[in-house]
Amino acid sequence: MKTLNKFAAFTLTVALAATATSCHIYKKFEMPSESALGADYVQAKAQEVDSTALGNLPWQQVFTDPVLADMINKALQNNTDLKNAKLNIDVAHANMLGARLSYLPSVALAPNGAGSTTSLPNASMSWTYQIPLSVSWEIDVFGKILNNKRSAEEAYRMSLDYEQAVKSQIIGAVANSYYAISALETQLDLQRETAANWAKTIDMMKAVWEAGNTTAAAVVQSQAQYESILASIADLETNLHEMNTTMSLLLGEMPQTWAIPAGLSIELPAEFNAGVPMVALANRPDVRAQERQLAIAYYATNSARAAFYPSLSISPTGGFTNSLGGMIFNPGEWFLNLGAQLTAPLFARGQNIARLKATKAQQQQSLNTFEYTLMKASGEIGSALVTYTNALEKEKHLSAQIDHMTRAVDITETLFLNSATNYNTTYLEVITAQQNLLGSQMNFINCQLARSRAVINLYQSLGGGR
364 pLDDT band, cuts 50/70/90, is very high
CA 138, CA 144: separation in Å to the nearest integer? Answer: 10
78 pLDDT band, cuts 50/70/90, is confident
| Over residues 157-164, mean pLDDT | 89
Q: Are 11 and 2 in contact (CB under 8 A)?
A: no
pLDDT over 60 (residue 61): yes
Comparing 310 with 454, which gets the higher pLDDT? Answer: 454
At 256 the pLDDT is: 93
Tell me: the pLDDT tens digits for 386-413?
Answer: 999 999 999 999 999 999 998 988 888 7
CA 79, CA 337: separation in Å to the nearest integer? Answer: 57
Tell me: the pLDDT tens digits for 278-336?
Answer: 888 888 899 999 999 999 999 999 888 888 887 777 777 766 676 766 666 666 666 66
Question: Could you say which DSSP state residue 101 is in?
Answer: G
Q: Of the candidates 57, 10, 425, which has an alpha carbon nearest to the alpha carbon of residue 275?
A: 57
14 pLDDT band, cuts 50/70/90, is very low
At 130 the pLDDT is: 72
Q: What percent of the chain has pLDDT over 70?
A: 81
At 273 the pLDDT is: 72
CA 202 to chain centre: 54
Tell me: the pLDDT tens digits for 245-282?
Answer: 999 999 988 999 999 999 999 988 766 776 667 888 88
**Mean per-residue pLDDT of the chain:** 81
Q: Are 205 and 434 in contact (CB under 8 A)?
A: no
| Over residues 170-176, mean pLDDT | 93
Q: In the chain, what are the helix, strand and coil shares in percent, each to the nearest 5?
A: 65, 10, 20
Tell me: the pLDDT tens digits for 120-147?
Answer: 666 666 667 677 777 777 777 777 888 8
Comparing 81 with 8, which gets the higher pLDDT? Answer: 81
126 strand-pairing partners: 116
At 123 the pLDDT is: 61
Greatest CA span in the chain, whole angstroms? 141
Who contacts 71 (Cβ-Cβ below 8 Å, separation ≥6)? 174, 178, 247, 251, 258
At 262 the pLDDT is: 93
Tell me: the pLDDT tens digits for 378-388?
Answer: 898 889 999 99
